[in-house]
Amino acid sequence: MKENNLIKHLPTIEEIDDTLAMIESFELQDIHKAIGDESFFVLMDLLKEMSTHHDMIMMLGAMDRLLSTDRNSLITYRDDFSNLREYSSKEEKAMLGDELINDIINSNIKYLVEELPIISEFNVVVNTLVILNINHLYTSAGEGSTYHNLILKSMSSDAQEFHDLLEDVDVEELISAFYDLEEIIDSENVVDEVRYEAYDFFEGRDFDDYDVEDIKELISILKKLS
C-alpha cells in the first residue's frame, strides 16, 4: 500500500500521551491563556514539525520561563551608578542583532561538519567557509543598504580584504567544491595537477594551523576545482 499523508498523519495514542505530558510539564494552559487560541494552535503545529524532542522541550521551556519572568528583572544596572542602566534598550538591541547576524553567518557550519567530516577538522576550511558566507551576504545586500552595513560590522579586517579576491566569483560553486576536496583527501585520488595541489595543501597540516595567506591559497584551489 502506497503511503500518503492521510495515513502518515493518522492520530496516535503516543501523540495524545506526549501532549498531555507537555501540558503537565510546561504549564501549557497558561501559555494558551496568554497568547489566545489562534496563536496557540499555530505554535502547537510548529512544535509538531520540529525534528527532535529536545528542540520541542527547549521551545516549550523557553515559553514557560518567558511567561513567568518579570520584565523588570531583565534590566541590569551599573555597579558604579546603581540607578543607571548598564546598557540602553538601543544598545541591547544592537548587541543582540550582532549576535544573531553572526549566528546566521555561521548557520551552514554544522552541515560542513556533518557532511564533510574530514576537511571540517581543519580550521582553515571552517574559516574559509565563514568568509565565503560573509562575502555572499555582503554582495547580496548591495551597496548602501542597511544590511550591507550590518554585515560589514561582522567582517574582521582580514575578511574585508577577501572581497576583491572573490569579486565576480560564483560563491555557491566555490562552496560546492568543498565536496570535491573531501573526496580528494578521502580517496587520495590525485590524477591531475589541481587535485594534487589540493591534496598537498592538507598533507601534514595541523588542524589548527592557518593564516590569511592559507585561506587565500585554499580559495584559489576551490576556484580551480569549481
Instruction: Tell me: pLDDT of 116 over 70.
Output: yes
pLDDT of residue 65: 87
The DSSP output letter for 170 is -
Please work out, in degrees rounded to the nearest 5, the angle formed at the alpha carbon of residue 117 by the alpha carbons of 113 and 119: 95
Predicted confidence (pLDDT) per residue in 165-210, tens digit: 787 888 889 999 999 999 999 988 778 899 999 999 999 899 998 8
Predicted confidence (pLDDT) per residue in 132-174, tens digit: 888 888 777 766 666 666 666 656 565 567 777 787 888 889 9
Q: What CA–CA distance (Å, rounded) separates 138 from 153? A: 11
Q: What CA–CA distance (Å, rounded) separates 159 from 141? A: 16
**Quick one: what percent of the chain has pLDDT higher than 90?**
25
Q: What is the Cβ-side half-sphere exposure of residue 5, based on CA atoms within 13 angstroms?
A: 0
Look at the pTM and tell me if it is higher than 0.85.
no
Instruction: Tell me: pLDDT of 4 over 60.
Output: no
Domain ranges within the chain, ordered by starting residue = 5-69, 72-102, 106-225
Per-residue pLDDT band for 107 (boundaries 50, 70, 90) equals confident
Q: What CA–CA distance (Å, rounded) separates 105 from 18? A: 35
pLDDT of residue 67: 86
Contact residues for 187 (Cβ-Cβ < 8 A; gap 6+): none
